[in-house]
């Protein structure tokens, strides 16, 4: 069976469900789709298809990449906030999944609970894509891996250092790196480190590579090829902002910390960024930053997912 046949109709709940070869195929497909766009080629494999996009969390990159991507692929995308659906009035997720399956060709959901995404996928008969939960952000990591490969020419053998909150990005990056042959070191303060079950999950995929968690940002970033960070307080954690700032000040990615990485190390951020907090302006706007190339690749990576899962 080809990857094209193997991936048709699949769900993306997290990258843990995909093999190294399947992820490599998706990245190659994203590269091909990106090239088609640069060449102004008309490419509409999803003509006549409709994607429903459920948003319980606000978004810039996720909404625009999926909506514009679906349009560019010849299809239609429907924006559905929780206020637009009966979910907001207590309709069971299972009922919503069954109803939407009779109307749509795919669902993307961006929400809080990973279990809600799992329940949606369990009851839907069409592909379900996790656009972000409190546990995982697999769509972002596909774009990240695509970007690293573009800049560095390879993935296997590199080292990523993730500095900051051990959140959904840390979880997904650990899994993505372990699957694709990168070492990853998480530098996070005690109390804000990734969930142990996520560390163990990522480690189970590591084949000769290292998944390390430390409270020492210098140890984490030493000799890294890729440095990654995220905001200190994610959506839903705004009331913890001041407390988190105190804990994370030593984990700010600045020139002094970057000096411990390799000289040609690239800087990445899933955005939005708070300059002067988790990263200084001279780093994120400096010559080693690839954050806008990374953001653009959300479009191409998301298009690859939709083509692979929803295409004929």
298 is in an annotated binding site: yes
Q: Are 128 and 121 in contact (CB under 8 A)?
A: yes
140 is in an annotated binding site: yes
193 is in an annotated binding site: no
Q: Are 131 and 231 in contact (CB under 8 A)?
A: no
168 is in an annotated binding site: yes
139 is in an annotated binding site: yes
d(CA 123, CA 102) in angstroms, rounded, equals 12
59 is in an annotated binding site: yes
| Active-site choice (137, 171, 244, 300) | 137
| Active-site choice (11, 146, 244, 270) | 270
230 is in an annotated binding site: yes
Q: Quick one: which of 94, 131, 90, 98 has its CA closest to 114?
A: 131
146 is in an annotated binding site: no
d(CA 95, CA 115) in angstroms, rounded, equals 15
d(CA 178, CA 190) in angstroms, rounded, equals 23
235 is in an annotated binding site: yes
Report whether the peptide linkage leading into residue 96 is cis, meaning its omega lies within 30 degrees of zero: no
Q: Are 225 and 159 in contact (CB under 8 A)?
A: yes
| Active-site choice (10, 244, 269, 298) | 298
| Active-site choice (10, 11, 105, 140) | 140
Q: Read off the DSSP letter of residue 194.
A: P
Task: Report angle CA 142, 148, 154 to the nearest 5 degrees.
Answer: 110
237 is in an annotated binding site: no
How many Cβ atoms are within 10 Å of 202's Cβ, its own excluded? 27
234 is in an annotated binding site: yes
177 is in an annotated binding site: no
125 is in an annotated binding site: no
How many Cβ atoms are within 10 Å of 119's Cβ, its own excluded? 17
d(CA 224, CA 28) in angstroms, rounded, equals 25
| Active-site choice (110, 171, 244, 269) | 110
Q: Is 282 a catalytic residue?
A: no
Q: Is 274 a catalytic residue?
A: no
Q: Is 285 a catalytic residue?
A: no
CA distance to 5, 91, 301, per residue, from 18 (Å):
14, 31, 15
Which residue is it, tokens 């994120």? 284
β-sheet with 106-110: strand ranges across: 76-81, 50-55, 106-110, 128-132
| Active-site choice (225, 230, 252, 269) | 230
Q: Is 10 a catalytic residue?
A: no
Q: What are the binding residues?
A: 59-62, 86, 110, 137-140, 168, 230, 234-235, 270-271, 298
Indicate the annotated binding residues for carbamoyl phosphate: 59-62, 86, 110, 137-140, 270-271, 298
Which residues are tagged catalytic? 110, 137, 140, 230, 270, 298
Residues belonging to the binding site for L-ornithine are 168, 230, 234-235
């Amino acid at each position: 069976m080809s990857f094209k046949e193997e991936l048709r109709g699949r769900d993306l709940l997290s990258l843990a469900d995909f093999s190294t070869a399947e992820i490599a195929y998706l990245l190659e497909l994203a590269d091909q789709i990106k090239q088609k766009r640069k060449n102004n080629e008309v490419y509409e494999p999803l003509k006549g298809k409709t994607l429903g996009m459920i948003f319980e969390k606000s978004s810039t990159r996720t909404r625009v990449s999926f909506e514009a991507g679906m349009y560019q692929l010849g299809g239609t995308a429907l924006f559905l906030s929780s206020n637009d659906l009966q979910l907001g009035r207590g309709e069971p997720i299972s009922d919503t999944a069954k109803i939407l399956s009779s109307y749509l060709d795919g669902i993307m959901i961006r929400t809080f609970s990973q279990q809600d995404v799992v329940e949606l996928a369990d009851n839907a008969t069409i592909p379900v894509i996790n656009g972000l939960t409190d546990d995982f952000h697999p769509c972002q990591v596909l774009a990240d891996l695509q970007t690293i490969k573009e800049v560095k020419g390879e993935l296997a053998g590199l080292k990523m250092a993730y500095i900051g909150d051990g959140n959904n990005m840390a979880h997904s990056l650990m899994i993505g790196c372990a699957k694709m042959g990168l070492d990853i070191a998480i530098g996070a303060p005690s109390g804000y480190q990734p969930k142990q079950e996520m560390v163990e999950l990522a480690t189970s995929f590591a084949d000769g590579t290292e998944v390390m968690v430390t409270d020492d940002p210098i140890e984490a970033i030493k000799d890294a090829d890729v440095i990654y960070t995220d905001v200190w307080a994610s959506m839903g954690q705004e009331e913890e902002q001041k407390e988190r700032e105190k804990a994370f000040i030593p984990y700010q990615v600045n020139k002094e910390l970057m000096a411990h990485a390799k000289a040609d190390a690239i800087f990445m951020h899933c955005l939005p960024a708070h300059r002067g907090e988790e990263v200084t302006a001279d780093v994120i706007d400096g010559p080693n930053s690839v954050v806008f190339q990374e953001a653009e690749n959300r479009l191409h990576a998301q298009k690859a997912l939709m083509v692979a899962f929803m295409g004929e």
